Amino acid sequence: MQDLTLVMAQLDPLVGDIPGNTERAIETVREARIEHGADVVVLPELFLTGYPPEDLLLRPSMETRLRQARARMAEKMARDVMVIVGYPGRREGANWNLAGVLYNGEWLGEYAKQALPNYEVFDEQRYFAVGEAPLVIEHKGAKLGVLICEDVWEEGPVQQAREAGANILVTLNASPFHQDKPAERLALLEQRAREVGLPIVYVNQIGGQDELVFDGGSACVDADGELRVQAPHWAVGLMPVQFVRDEQGAWAPSAGEVDEDVSAEENLYCALVTGLRDYVNKSGFKGVVLGLSGGIDSALSLAIAVDALGPQRVHAVMMPYHYTADISKEDAAEQARMLGVDYEVLPIESMVEAFMGTLADSFAGTERDTTEENLQSRCRGVLLMAISNKKGLMVLSTGNKSEMAVGYATLYGDMVGGYNAIKDVYKTWVYRLARWRNTQDPAIPERVIERPPSAELAPDQQDTDSLPDYDTLDAILVRYIEGDMSAEAIIDAGFERDDVYKVVRLVDRCEYKRRQAPVGVRVTRRGFGRDRRYPIVNGWQPGE
């Protein structure tokens, strides 16, 4: 009997940092060789550039930089270990999404990705040509069939690798997270393994990149689709897989570590923390500043920020006005104390009065409306941006997906900022996450969770004054945004006609606001951003 030690390298690259990612690869392989006796090390898709590199792929110097990186890897990489790593490459006048195989200083072959996704957040057909040929590399008696991410989601490339003689399938991935995605991946691996009767190694990356976040969860299933090894989600690390060859020549992975299942709330919360941490750290900010209102959204955002960056890098500001309730002030101060963050109170009465005085003649003869409410929010935005400029802290905005969907937010007010950790989190999930977070360690005053939500921009104001209750609102939004259901189809599903048309019209009308909103991590099947592209100006009318 023979054995083969394959190490899944679950890493967090920095997009565009080719020299840095190259050194990470070299050090990772050295560590895998020393600690695990690795025969093969597999790194994620497009690891040398990071994923997704987007239009960096069009830079004239890209291929030059990658040639230098590959030359350095050939020179410095540990010997007696085969390395499979992802990178883009220009070959025969076209760009390709490649997986290269390196062994003892020699690049033995390259595989070009065949299935190029062009849906949701993916735009690979913009950049890459379609690969056609399989790549099977033999090492220590094992024949490794190399695949890249989307290839395993389609039958063709998998069958092709098997027909080319592979007895272990190895797929390099940069598979972003959304709710339910980890379970979908495992179900797919089980299905593909059973179809071809071969074990599959699935290596995913970790970390946040702009609005995407990658959860890891690298895994190996046997030829029957049974999960044998799985790396932790939300953690960088090396995970060995021990393959054993039987007398009939079939290779099978031995049982190893398997990451424990966690709740949907914990998985989602980890995604938000990871996305924020990487955005701030990779961008080079000292920390974040946010407005702490005493409401549920800013309270959850504060907890996420502290878990991502530590309390010493988080600055919270309460900016009260006439309509700010005493309990809001008390709860904000209590949460800041609970989490140990830097906290200050900056009243905005004088600012609002100064604006109103300046605008008195312009507003003469008009009735009070949302204009005056928005002035309060915009004064707060000015203060947060001033603190940001002075202290080098990124402003963290705190609006949830339900609000962003219907425009329940103020441009240049509570929408100012560099990032929004809960941008793709519906209001009903905001409550679920807040309750879950408190089960780990109290971080949000219970009264904040129990109080009816309010923007506190007018006397006795509540969100339900202008919106359906959030259970109803979110149910409509999920169907319209993620399901692309028409207004009439949503009504047929059991919702009130007036509610549906009001919500749908608000979503359509407020596209211009969302285009100007801060980036935030995508955690649903369809977030506002790169995978939902609707025209701002259009004459489309809701209906069928």
Please give the pLDDT value at position 502: 95
Same-domain check for residues 175 and 217:
yes
Task: Supply the CATH number for residue 59's domain.
Answer: 3.60.110.10
| CA distances in angstroms from 283 to 23, 232, 415, listed in the order given | 20, 25, 20
Last residue of a domain, one of 402, 434, 455: 455
Asked if residue 46 is part of any domain, the answer here is yes
Whether 298 has a binding-site annotation, put simply, is: yes
One domain, residues 22 and 127: yes
Instruction: Please indicate if the annotation marks 283 as binding a ligand.
Output: no
pLDDT of residue 349: 95
Assigned domain for 467 exists: no
Which CATH number is 349's domain given? 3.40.50.620
Task: Say if residue 301 is in the same domain as residue 244.
Answer: no
Query: Do 132 and 269 lie in a common domain?
Result: no
Q: 321 CB contacts (<8 Å, ≥6 apart)? A: 347, 348, 349, 352, 376, 456
pLDDT at 531: 85
The answer to whether residue 432 is domain-embedded is yes
| 524: in domain | no
DSSP string covering 483-544, please? S---HHHHHHTT--HHHHHHHHHHHHHTHHHHHTSPB----SSS-SBTTB---SS-------
What's the whole-model pTM score?
Answer: 0.94
Segments of 126-285 assigned E as strands? 136-139, 142-148, 168-172, 200-203, 206-209, 212-215, 219-221, 227-230, 237-245, 251-253
Residue 273 lies in a domain: yes
How confident is the prediction along the chain (544 residues), in pLDDT tens digits per residue?
Answer: 579 999 999 999 999 999 999 999 999 999 999 999 999 999 999 999 999 999 999 999 999 999 999 999 999 999 999 999 999 999 988 999 999 999 999 999 999 999 999 988 899 999 999 999 999 999 999 999 999 999 999 999 999 999 999 999 999 999 999 999 999 999 999 999 999 999 999 999 999 999 999 999 999 999 999 999 999 999 999 999 999 998 788 899 999 999 888 999 999 999 999 999 999 999 999 999 999 999 999 999 999 999 999 999 999 999 999 888 899 999 999 999 999 999 999 999 999 999 999 999 999 999 999 898 999 999 999 999 999 999 999 999 999 999 999 999 999 999 999 999 999 999 999 999 999 999 999 999 999 999 887 665 566 656 666 788 999 999 999 999 999 999 999 999 999 999 999 999 999 999 999 999 999 999 999 999 888 888 898 888 888 7
pLDDT at residue number 452: 81
Q: Which of helix, strand or coil describes residue 18?
A: helix
Residues identified as active-site: 45, 113, 149
Are 304 and 433 contained in the same domain?
yes
Q: What is the pLDDT of residue 533?
A: 87
242 and 276 fall within a common domain: no
Based on the fold, state whether residues 135 and 193 are members of the same structural domain. yes
**297 annotated binding-site participant:** yes
Comparing CA positions, the residue from 210, 200, 212 lying closest to residue 174 is: 212
Is 412 annotated as ligand-binding? no
In a domain? residue 473:
no
The answer to whether residue 542 is domain-embedded is no
492-521 pLDDT, tens digit per residue, is 999 999 999 999 999 999 999 999 999 999
Look at residue 388 and tell me if it is in a domain.
Answer: yes
What is the rounded distance in angstroms from the CA atom of residue 189 to the CA atom of residue 199? 9
**Number of domains the chain contains:** 2
- Same domain as 331, residue 232: no
CA dihedral sign, ordered 6, 12, 18, 21 = negative
Extract long-range pairs of 346-351: CB within 8 Å, 24+ residues apart: 346/317, 346/318, 346/319, 346/383, 347/319, 347/320, 347/321, 348/319, 348/320, 348/321, 348/376, 348/379, 348/380, 348/383, 349/321, 349/322, 351/379, 351/382, 351/383
Residue 275 labelled as part of a binding site:
no
What share of the chain has pLDDT > 70, as a percent? 98
Range of the domain at 348: 265-455
Question: For the chain, what is the mean pLDDT?
Answer: 94
Indicate whether 208 and 336 sit together in one domain: no
d(CA 516, CA 119): 23
The amino acid occupying position 244 is V
Question: Do 118 and 220 reside in the same domain of the chain?
Answer: yes
pLDDT attached to residue 246:
85
Q: Is 388 annotated as a binding residue?
A: no
Q: Quick one: pLDDT at residue 224?
A: 95
Torsion angle defined by CA atoms of residues 455, 459, 464 and 467, in that order, rounded to the nearest 10 degrees: -70
